[in-house]
């Protein structure tokens, strides 16, 4: 699972669509104006989002984009995956030059951890985010004891 500003742009744009759903197609020009993302860059991102079946495009005047599925059925994980090339998990990827045991173990461990992150982001939908009670929902699901000391500046 890769998380960078690119994924953030994509999620932000999808949230914009979700926030303005039901009012007909949204043009990228509108999204660009509202979210301060360059139009051409949005075009690239939406090309991926369309190929991933996350949005429908309507061409011509009055056209634009809209969510292909309800916001309740699009996860953050899907959006991030759509725009990011996956991280290649290992260097010795199936080449079998992984002697020594330790190496492959570390790779395996990372892979399992990566699975968990993916599962986590799969459980959060665009709707969860715009409803914003997702904070409580996720906290409940996790039974997380919130440790203040852990919360330092991060992006």
- The residues of the shown chain that bind a second copy, judged by CB under 8 A, are 1-5, 8, 11-12, 15-16, 19, 34-36, 75-78, 81, 85-89, 91-92, 100, 102-103, 105-107, 109-110, 112-124, 129-130, 132, 134-135, 138-139, 141-144, 146-147, 150-155
CB 28 within 8 A of CB 39: yes
Closer of 60 and 85 to a second copy (Cβ): 85
Report what 21 binds from DNA, a second copy, none; CB cut-off 5-8 Å by kind: none
Closer of 2 and 20 to DNA (Cβ): 2
Q: Output the CA angle 131-137-143, nearest 5 degrees.
A: 160
CB 123 within 8 A of CB 75: yes
60 lies in the site for DNA, by CB under 7 A: yes
The CA distances from residue 105 to 57, 94, 108, in Å, are 44, 14, 5
Closer of 17 and 59 to a second copy (Cβ): 17
Closer of 94 and 153 to a second copy (Cβ): 153
- Looking up tokens 């330092």 gives 152
28 lies in the site for DNA, by CB under 7 A: yes
CB 98 within 8 A of CB 104: yes
């Amino acid at each position: 699972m890769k998380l960078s500003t690119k994924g953030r742009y994509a999620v932000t744009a999808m949230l914009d669509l979700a926030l303005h759903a039901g009012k007909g197609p949204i043009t990228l020009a509108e999204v660009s104006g509202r979210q301060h993302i360059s139009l051409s860059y949005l075009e690239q991102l939406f090309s991926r989002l369309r190929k991933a079946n996350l949005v429908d495009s309507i061409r011509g005047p009055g056209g634009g984009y809209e969510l292909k599925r309800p916001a309740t059925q699009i996860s953050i994980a899907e959006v991030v995956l759509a725009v990011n090339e996956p991280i290649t998990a290992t260097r010795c990827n199936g080449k079998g030059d992984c002697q020594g045991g330790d190496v492959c173990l570390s790779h395996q461990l990372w892979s399992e951890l990566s699975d968990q992150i993916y599962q986590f982001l799969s459980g959060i939908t665009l709707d969860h985010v715009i409803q914003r009670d997702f904070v409580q929902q996720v906290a409940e699901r996790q039974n997380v004891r919130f440790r203040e000391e852990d919360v330092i500046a991060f992006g």
